[in-house]
Structure 1
Amino acid sequence: MVYPATLEQDGDYILVRFPDIPEAMTQGQTLEEAFDMAEEVLGLCLEDQKNFPEPSPVQDIRKKFPNKEVALIGLDLAAYRRKYHSKSIRKNVTIPEWIANMAEEDNINFSQTLTEALKEKLCV
């Protein structure tokens, strides 16, 4: 996902706002920090959504905010979730006994196999 953001100097900080996602705003002391924080706040605001706002064209944002710099901020939501929500949690599952027996005989790690299958199913 890529969204346009506005950047403006405010004292010692660079303020970053996403016009298409009003709740997404942050700041950084350097341009690099501002971009890092922008990606993080974008992920935080979008991580639980099913339907994402349509990004505005950059030229529309420049017209609407002529006194601000405009930058495109990209977000790999799968990478964001891996980075910030990667702790493992316990889940109880029910599987047929014969499959469980075969898997145990082959020393298959159930947690690893379930994780791999879910990632494949979810295309992440």
Structure 2
Amino acid sequence: MEIVSYPAIFQQKNNQIEVDFPDLPEAFTQGKNMETAMEFAKLGLAITLNDKLGHFEKAPQVSELAEVQAAHPGAVVKMVTVDLEQY
């Protein structure tokens, strides 16, 4: 198992929930509700990190959850956790 967790910002926009990863902007995704947004966030995180690692790039350092929350007041900030070996 290769478990990783990164903070993500969930914001309601245009009838969608957009998901941004401050440490991995290329993992941006969205969903029609929080449940699908979280599932797509897990998928986007796993694909992005596996791609980086597959190209011998280092995974970015994980930002502190409290720092991300402080930088985005009013947004929902959650840790997204995946097992990279499942993707």
TM-score range, shorter chain: 0.7 to 0.9
How far apart are 1:13 and its partner, in Å?
0.4
Which ranges of structure 2 fall in alignment gaps of 5 or more residues? none
Higher normalized strand content (fraction of residues): 2
Percent sequence identity over aligned pairs:
35
- Structure 2 distance, partners of 1:69, 1:53, is 22
Query: Which protein is bigger by CA-based radius of gyration?
Result: 1
Give the alignment's TM-score, normalised by structure 2: 0.86
Poorly superposed stretches of 4+, deviation over 6 Å = none
Higher relative contact order (CA 8 A, sep 6+): 2
Distance 1:48 1:63 in 2: 30
Count of aligned pairs between the two proteins: 80
Measured on the aligned residues, the alpha-carbon RMSD in Å equals 1.0
Q: Residue 53 of structure 1 corresponds to which residue in structure 2?
A: 60
Structure 1: 5+ residue runs without aligned partners?
Answer: 81-124
Select 1:10's aligned residue among 10, 13, 34.
13
Q: How far apart are residue 66 of structure 1 and its match?
A: 1.2
